[in-house]
Amino acid sequence: MERNTRQRAAISEALAAAARPLLPQEVLEAAQAQVPGLGIATVYRNLKALVDEGALRSVNLPGDNPRFEAAGLHHHHHFQCQQCQKVFDVHGCPGDLAALAPPGFTVADHDLVLYGRCSDCPAPAARKLAAGKRAAGSGSRVASARKPVAAATPHQHRHRRNTAAR
């Protein structure tokens, strides 16, 4: 197989195998197993081409670099682990949220992101002991524990038409 084709196939396969939205860096790490010497610039170029062709769409979580997933998945939502920062698909949907909008407003679409801890990450048992002292009001600790986002990637492409919520 020609090198360019092999690169693109490895990138597509990495995303298909992950079955969750991946950062370009995660795509690179997964695809390098198939194409040694693959570089991040090539990953970006292929991701952009695949988005332009309609094979992929970008997933834009607030304050985070774009991730990529297959286009044309059914309506779904995402879960971000606050420990490892990975994003997973959530297949449930609360359904029609129109009643939450102010009176007279029309809801055209919605997006929903759950935050918490994935099943691969250990429960913060040690930290619980330390946090025990500030007992009162500690219920809000988890919600505010979201780590700052690392400025991970060298540059970002903008996929304007993909930023619209489903």
Footprint of Zn ion (CB under 5 A): 81, 83-84, 93, 118, 121
Smaller CB distance to Zn ion: residue 25 or 83? Answer: 83
Smaller CB distance to Zn ion: residue 34 or 83? Answer: 83
Query: Shortest Cβ distance from residue 26 to Zn ion (Å)?
Result: 13
Smaller CB distance to Zn ion: residue 95 or 132? Answer: 95
Query: Shortest Cβ distance from residue 78 to Zn ion (Å)?
Result: 11
Query: Shortest Cβ distance from residue 80 to Zn ion (Å)?
Result: 9
Query: Shortest Cβ distance from residue 66 to Zn ion (Å)?
Result: 20
Answer for the pair 56, 15: CB distance below 8 angstroms, yes or no.
Answer: yes
Smaller CB distance to Zn ion: residue 42 or 80? Answer: 80
Phi, psi of 162 (to 5 degrees): -95, -5
Euclidean distance between the first and final Cα of the chain, in Å?
Answer: 36
Strands 67-70 and 56-59: antiparallel
Query: Shortest Cβ distance from residue 165 to Zn ion (Å)?
Result: 10
Outline where the chain has alpha helix (H). Answer: 3-18, 24-31, 40-52, 125-131
Contacts of 47 (CB under 8 A, 6+ apart): 11, 24, 27, 56, 68, 157
Please calculate the CA angle 134-85-165 and round it to the nearest 5 degrees. Answer: 110
Smaller CB distance to Zn ion: residue 8 or 86? Answer: 86
Answer for the pair 55, 27: CB distance below 8 angstroms, yes or no.
Answer: no
